[in-house]
Each structure stands twice: as structure tokens, then as C-alpha cells.
Chain A
Amino acid sequence: MPVAPTSSASSSSSSSSSSSSSSSGFPLTARAVVLAIDNIDTDQIIPARFLKTTDKVGLGRYCFADWRADASGAPRPEFPLNKPGAAGAEILVAGHNFGCGSSREHAPWALLGAGFRAVISPRFADIFRNNALTNGLLPVAVDDAVHHRLLALLAASPDATVTIDAERQTATLPDGTVATFPIDRFAKHCLLNGVDPLGFILREDAAIADYERTHPARVTTAPFRA
């Protein structure tokens, strides 16, 4: 699975107390950063001007670039990711409909590059959720009551940790409350076992060839080759 490595060891070592994690990195026990804003779009997660890369790695420094710094490049100290406690946090707690907007896979690459391993939100945009799972960034969709409780707990104890268990599909809040969350079964299988979805499709090669024989193309792009 093409997992984008986190940008630096220092961003993930300090808070992670997860025991004997599998290759997926879950279960994960880590501190969380709160961005309780609804409809955080992919242009905020990574602005389009940073998409002129041909790489997957090194995008962590652009994560939330225009919220982290002002037009002159000076950091905005009030932005949650700039606060001292944010260093080493591996979980992002966001508002509704996280990841709406474009299909850019650069969004999960940037979040992973910034050291995040999971995002907790009441709801994720479809393309983002899929892109995140493909890269091993776990979208944890919890109901509104759990979300409110988590926000309240983290407001009271910003350094508290949350445990996310992908196998059991549970999030354990700082007060011990255990909430369950859904994961697509196939995506979970890929995540926990390091299965490459492309390999899965490639195993269907005979069926694909058969489909192509029985469904001849009506359209070809070839005649317009420049």
C-alpha cells in the first residue's frame, strides 16, 4: 500500500504510546488537535498552489498553510496547529463534512506528512474519505453526541489522549467512553493487512479481459492523437 511516510520522526514520537502496533500503526493512542470547524475543504487542507509537485512526500509543511500563516508568512499563534501542545498530536478532531471539495489526494498526503494518523469528524466527504483510507489515514466518523463529548473533554484537558483501534473500530475518549465507528470492510482489510487494492483488481485480469471481449468499445481516444 502506498503509504506516505510522516514527514519527520519528531512529529510522531513524543505522544504515541501505542503498544505493539501492527504495520497499520493502529491501535493508536495519541493527543489530538481540535479544529472544530464545519466543511473544512481540501483547499484549506492544502492550497492548490502547492499541487505543482510530482511527489507524494514532503507536503506536511503545506498542511493548512493559509490558516497557519498570514500573507507575509508569519505564523498565526492563535491557530490550533501552531500552539505548543499541537506538536506530536496524531489525531485531528474536525467539524462536519471534513474534506469537501476537490479530489486531490494531496490532502491526505499533507495530513500524513504533518504527522496525523486519524481524523475524527461526524461526517466526511466521500472522495476524501476514500483517499484517506487508501493512504492509511483513518477517517473516524462518530455521531454528534460523541463528537460533542470529545470536544468538551479536550477543551477541559487539551493534553488528554484518545485511543483509536481500527481492528475493533472503537475510539476511546479521555474519560474512558468507548465509541464505535464504521470502516468499509474492504478498506479495513487493506489497512490492517497491508493489502494493495491494485493487486486485488489485477487478480481479476481474466474477468476484465472477458468484459472487454463482450463489451467492445464504442469510443476510442486514439484517432485524435496529437
Chain B
Amino acid sequence: MAVGIEASGAPRTLVDKVWDAHVVRPGTADVPAVLYVDLHLVHEVTSPQAFAGLRARGRRVRRPDRTVATMDHSTPTTSTQWRARAGAPPIIDDAGVAQLARLEQNCAEFGVPLYELGNDKQGIVHVIGPELGLTQPGMTIVCGDSHTSTHGAFGALAFGIGTSEVEHVLATQCVLQHKPRTMEVRVDGRLQPGVSAKDIILAILATYGVDGGTGHVFEYRGAAIRALSMEERMTVCNMSIEGGARAGLIAPDDTTFEYVAGRPAAPAGPAWDDAVAGWRSLPSDDGARYDRAIALDATRLAPMITYGTNPGMGMPVDAHVPDPATLAEPAHRQALDKALRYMDLRPGEQLLGKRIDVVFLGSCTNSRISDLRLAAGVLRGRAVAPGLRMLVVPGSQQVKRQAEAEGLDAVFRAAGAEWREAGCSMCIAMNGDQLAPGQYAVSTSNRNFEGRQGPGGRTFLASPLTAAASAVTGVITDPRTLQ
């Protein structure tokens, strides 16, 4: 990956540098660029039709050594078994079993490495890429999944693609793309206690809306971003798509290099030094121009919570639900009114103290070891409120083992929470982990769309700290005030 080597010319952004290093054929007004893909992540839900297309055309996978698959969306979290077994009750439904079996067949037939359920490296696709060291600065990364933006935390240009494009990448290791416009998202200041990375991104979405980034790629910059750990950066980049941006990047720095060093797929020895030298040239040049710029002061942020049915409908946890009548634009008024009816909330209502039924700690947004540590820190010596169900779903088998080595599973179990196997689980509710109609959940996941966590289910998105504090009290709780 020859990144950042063009010495002359105008100052370039991080996105410019990664883009330029991957252009196989430049685009014109008539045709998009042919862009090379360094890493292609595959899962069971968005790949079957792509493999079928390859088969129909008699094509092979061009670079199985740059492709990796895992099972995560449809997998059970109660077992590492997914096959239907004679005499045993089904763990997931037949369609889920068939989908997982199809991925297994496809990977075997096309030579694609697969971390199947039961493998000790299986997990959510956006958790295992970084964890294995496959996700590295300066790369182009795609996956048939919109939360591929997660990998932007490493200074990679990473974005979700459709299944037709999954087939393109399988066949050619390339994707057709127009160069995206860039938006600087500057977050300066310093997070206060009880406020975390999740609150940064929920505040950005609440301020700039769910389409503020459409047509753009975010580059997160500023002191508050630099101060984040890699796992926190992944939380922020993960939800770029919730702002309409297909990708969200953070320039690599020593925090990044420390995280990558020593991971299974990371370069070692002299190759490591070469890699780091190249990565140090990736950050945007002084004077590089962005198409748009927005800013936020982290110092002023409070823990955030959503009240509506898209991730932009968020507010400080101690604020009051907005009143549609105060909105000037009829479409906005109608949208908020519809959301509040679905959520069964009243304008002006305070969410603090609102009774909830379920707390979900998990998803590609917040299921890494640091998320589990934060939540366990709240739950240690406390109990989940009577009648409340708390589901803790680690992002990968490696996260699960690490948590168990640290005794976090014992903390969760002792508090009365359910400790599960790795997967997407109740974030997307494809595997049987779901809300009942009408139930309220505080969830560390990324989408509060109608029915997202189960038909009729109602989701409040929040940080792991807020979720854990709310699990203890049984009502929506400001983690800063938990007694």
C-alpha cells in the first residue's frame, strides 16, 4: 500500500490519500473510478445472492486471501451450535439455519476463510476485523453492511455496499465508486465523567440530523477525538452511517499503532516499521480542504438518549421530550408526532425515571471489552432491577473469553443479567433475541427504527454506562447520578 507518497501538489485530506492510493482506473464524468479493495468482509445475510451470481457466471473469487467471512447476524447467542439436530429443539429457525449453511457451502466452494459459529475467532464482522489485525490504516475495506464505517477508526476508507457490489468485489477485488465529498467533524474539548464516545456520536446525530452527511465521508478530528481509545473511536465511526455518511475516518496516530501492533494479521519486524512509516504520512495535510465542516464541543456534552425512531432524535438524558407543536416545518412536526406515537411518549415528558423492560448491551457499536468493563463497573455489587431483563452479548468469542478471564461474566451473572455467545443479537433481532411488542429497551446498539429490535419494540439508544445504570434502577437513569 503506497500511501501518501505523492510528494507535490495541493494539500490532501486523509480521504484523498487513501483514495488516490487505491485508484485502478480514475473516474470521469461518464464513469466512476475503479477502486481497489484491500479487505472484503463477508457475512451470511448479504452474501448468498452474490455467490449465486458468481456461480451463474462461472467466476471464482479473485482474492480469497483478501476476503474473510463470519457468521453473526442470524446466529443464536444461547449456543455455539447452529445446525438443527435430530431430537433437539431448534435453536434458530429453519431459514436462519439454511442461511448459515449456505455461507458455509459458499466459503468452502470458493475458498474463502470463514469463522463459523463455534470457531474461537467468530464474532460480529466489525469486531473481529480490528481484533485480528486485519483492519489497518490506509486500507480500503468494504462489506455488505452499512456499519463497515466502524473500520474508519483506523484511518481506513471503509464503507457498506449492496449485494450486487459484494459480487463485484468477490469477482474483481474492485468496486465502482465516485470520489466522495468530505466533511470535517471537529470535536474539541474534553469529555466529562459519565460521558463517553457513544454520547459524542449521538450528540452529533441529534445536532446535524440523520442526513447531514449524505453524499459525504466524515473525518473526525479535534482534541476530544484524539483522546479516545481505539475502541471508543470505533464506536464513533460506527454510527457515521446514521448521519448519512457512508464512511467516517479518524487519522491514525500512536493510539492506532499501539492497538494494531502484535495482532495476528499485523505486520511484524521490519515490515512493521515500514508500515508505521507509511501510516504516519496519512493524516490530512495542513491546509487540506474539506467540502463542509461541522463542530461540537465535547466539554459541554451530557450522557445522551434517543426518544424517537431514528438515531438523530436524541437529547441529553435529563432533557424533556420535544413538542412537535414547536417545530416550524410541517414535515418535521409530522415526523416527530409519528415517532412519539410509536414510542408512546408525551411532548415535554422527561425520560429520566421512565420504566423500561429490557437492557441490551451489545452490537458492533458497543460490545467490545472496554464497553463490557464500563458496564460491569456499574453492575459490580449491584443487581439488575426486579422484572427487568438484561442481555449482555459480547462482540466476539475473543471478547467473551477476555471478559471471562477478567471475571466480568461473573459480575453480570451475579447482577442477574444474561451472559450470551457473540453475535449481532437484539440489535437487528434476526436470531430470536428480540423485544416483545410494546416493550421498552435501553440499548447500546445503533438503530432505534420502528421494529428494529422486534416488531412493536421501542428502543432508547444510549451508552453502556447509561444502559447499565438504567438496568440497576429499572428506569432510565443518568449514570452520573446513580447512588
Contact = CB atoms under 8 A, between A and B. Distances in A.
A198 interface: yes
A186 B32 contact: yes
Interface residues of A, number: 63
A220 interface: yes
A202 interface: yes
B168 A103 contact: no
Contact of B215 (A95, A126, A222): A126
Interface string A185-226: 110010000000110111011011001101101111111111
B422 to A, nearest CB: 15
A48 B453 CA distance: 9
Contacts of A205: 172
Contacts of B96: 52
Contact of B449 (A37, A43, A217, A221): A43
B158 to A, nearest CB: 12
A127 B210 CA distance: 14
A165 interface: no
Nearest to B114: A226
B428 A48 contact: yes
Question: For this complex, into which size category does the number of interface residues on chain B fall?
Answer: 35 or more
B235 interface: no
Given A51-B45, A198-B172, A224 B145 contact: no
A127 B161 contact: yes
Interface stretch (B66-74, B355-363, B373-381, B467-475): B66-74
Nearest to B166: A105
B176 A186 contact: yes
Contacts of A217: 38, 65-66
A130 interface: yes
A39 B164 contact: no
A200 B187 CA distance: 41
B161 A103 contact: yes
A161 B46 CA distance: 35
Interface in A89-125: 95-97, 100-105, 123, 125
B316 interface: no
A66 interface: yes
B2 A215 contact: yes
B164 A131 contact: yes
A159 interface: no
Contacts of B451: 43-44, 47, 66
B332 A219 contact: no
Nearest to A100: B210
Contacts of B215: 126
B414 interface: no
Contacts of B113: 221-222, 224-226
A91 B6 CA distance: 48
Interface string B92-113: 0101101100100000000001
14 contacts: A41-B310, A41-B447, A48-B430, A49-B430, A52-B95, A55-B49, A95-B335, A96-B211, A104-B46, A202-B172, A211-B24, A215-B36, A221-B67, A224-B132
Given A131-B164, A219-B265, A224-B68, 14 more contacts: A39-B310, A47-B455, A52-B430, A54-B48, A101-B241, A103-B160, A104-B46, A184-B32, A185-B30, A218-B136, A219-B38, A219-B39, A220-B65, A221-B68
